[in-house]
Structure 1
Amino acid sequence: MRILIAEDEKKLAGFIQQGLIQAGYLTEVCHDGSEALEMAVKNEFDLILLDLMLPGINGFDFLKNLRTFGAETPVIIISAIADSRQVVQGLDLGAVDYIRKPFEWDELLARIRIVSRFSGSGGQQKIRIEDLEIDIPSRKVKRGTVEIELTSKEFVLLEYLMRNANLVLTKNQLLENAWNMNFDPESNIVEVYMHQLRKKIDKGFDRQLIKTVIGAGYMLKGEKQ
């Protein structure tokens, strides 16, 4: 697994690089956002570890431009920024995870292993429940003949719901598996995303697939095709 570390704090970047090398990963380090974007577009990386406060271009602009160039490399944001709005912004721009500084080294390695499992799993390519279908490699979603556009995080959430169709999933399970975040009873991030997802998936269709199970969680209910 080849990892690009985009981090302007040279001491921290060196610490991360050394630890990843010892863990058996191939690494490249860049301290500037513009240079990191050029490296990410021109080279094949399996994962990018991205600081948000980079010189050149910041992490948000890096993500926007990365997707504009058509690169689908998974990105884990590593940042001291803790504002939930900026966390959501980074995830919506295509990052698969968000780790706040300071972080535990074992946690970072665990998050990297999760990304590795999903990106190289060679698992099911399409999932269909009733008339709802997702194509995982192309990240396309259709309900009947209608194509539905989802943000990156909405897609991950829907994929998790569909893989566990007809099972009640708790808020904690959704946070851990769709966001890789620990349970925070104060956070309403799950409710916000489920509301957005339900509007896109169910609004205008006769049958409502996404169910709220009061006091328990959420379920995508339907017959697997």
Structure 2
Amino acid sequence: MNILLAEDDIRLGKLMYHLLRTEFHGVDWVKTGKEAYNHAILKDYDVIILDWMLPGESGLSICRRLRSKGNQSGILFVTAKDANEDVISGLDSGADDYIVKPFEFSELSARIRAIYRRKEKPFEEVIRIKDFTLNLTTHEFSRNGVPIDLTKKEYQLLEILMRNRNQILTREVLFEKLWGYDTEVTDNALDALIKLVRKKVDSSGTPSLIQNVRGIGYKVRSGNV
């Protein structure tokens, strides 16, 4: 699922970001109230994780503004405030749930899944594009029914591109989603990864599944676009 993480504590935010990504979620991490609100109104997130005390604007205020605009994303407050009146204020502002710091990641993950289920958004289990099939549950990839063995990074690249089919993803976005913010991996790693994936999935004489958009990035195009 697509998650917006709004947390200004760098250490905690970095930990949550990486743990959520290990569960194959798409995660955008922002650190201020302004960034959180702008991201939330520009992109359809399944779940928004809001820290209560964000620089510039509180999570409580952001939640109220989003609900007043009709935003239907699941909202989970993460905060050190545990008084009953704070819990009530958070839920009354439109949040779906509330978790108090410190917490176990397993509890956070369970609450995210529960919010997602309550929102009753259909889960896209299989993505089919032309001859290709990506199973998001088993993490298997095939062409014309023939399985293609992929490494974890190769699978992640295809999942990102196929989930966002028909959209151009910049090199910067792909790099951040694959390796995160803080990494010693060089920019050339993306070129090498795409080359390896193309070698495995493309057939001679047919257009590549991963299309290069010169000077911008890459995209996967579905058959009808």
TM range (shorter): 0.5 to 0.7
Counterpart in the other structure of 2:105: 105
Q: Which residue number in structure 2 is paired with residue 44 of structure 1?
A: 44
Alignment of 1:11-160 (within 5 A): 11-120=11-120
User: Matches of 1:95 and 1:115 in 2, distance apart?
Assistant: 10
Residue in structure 2 matched with residue 176 of structure 1 by the alignment: none
- 8 Å CA contact 2:80, 2:101 repeated in 1: yes
Distance (whole Å) between structure 2 residues aligned to residue 70 and residue 34 of structure 1: 18
Cα pair 2:34 2:57 within 8 Å, conserved: yes
Q: Aligned partners of 1:120 and 1:72: how far apart in 2?
A: 11
Is the partner of 1:75 in helix, strand or coil?
strand
- Work out the CA distance in 1 between the residues paired with 2:39 and 2:26: 15
Tell me how far apart the structure 1 counterparts of residues 7 and 21 of structure 2 sit (CA, whole Å).
16
* Residue identity matched to 1:104: E
Corresponding residue of 1:3: 3
Aligned partner of 1:93: which letter? Answer: S
Query: Is the contact between residue 6 and residue 32 of structure 2 (CA under 8 Å) also seen in structure 1?
Result: yes
**What amino acid sits opposite 1:20 in the alignment?**
L
Letter in 2 for 1:11: R
- Letter matched to residue 17 of structure 2: Q
Using the size of structure 1 for normalisation, the TM-score is 0.53
Q: 1:115 Cα deviation (Å)? A: 1.4
SS at match of 1:72: coil
Amino acid at match of 1:83: A
Letter in 1 for 2:100: R
Q: Structure 2: which 5+ residue stretches go unaligned?
A: 123-225
* 2:83 maps to amino acid: D
Aligned-pair identity in percent equals: 37
How many angstroms apart in 2 are the aligned matches of 1:77 and 1:116?
A: 14
Question: TM-score, normalised to structure 2's length?
Answer: 0.53
Deviation at 1:28, TM superposition (A): 0.2
Instruction: Extract structure 1 runs of 4+ deviating beyond 2 A.
Output: none
Whole-Å separation in 1 of the counterparts to 2:83 and 2:31: 23
Matched position secondary structure for 2:102: coil
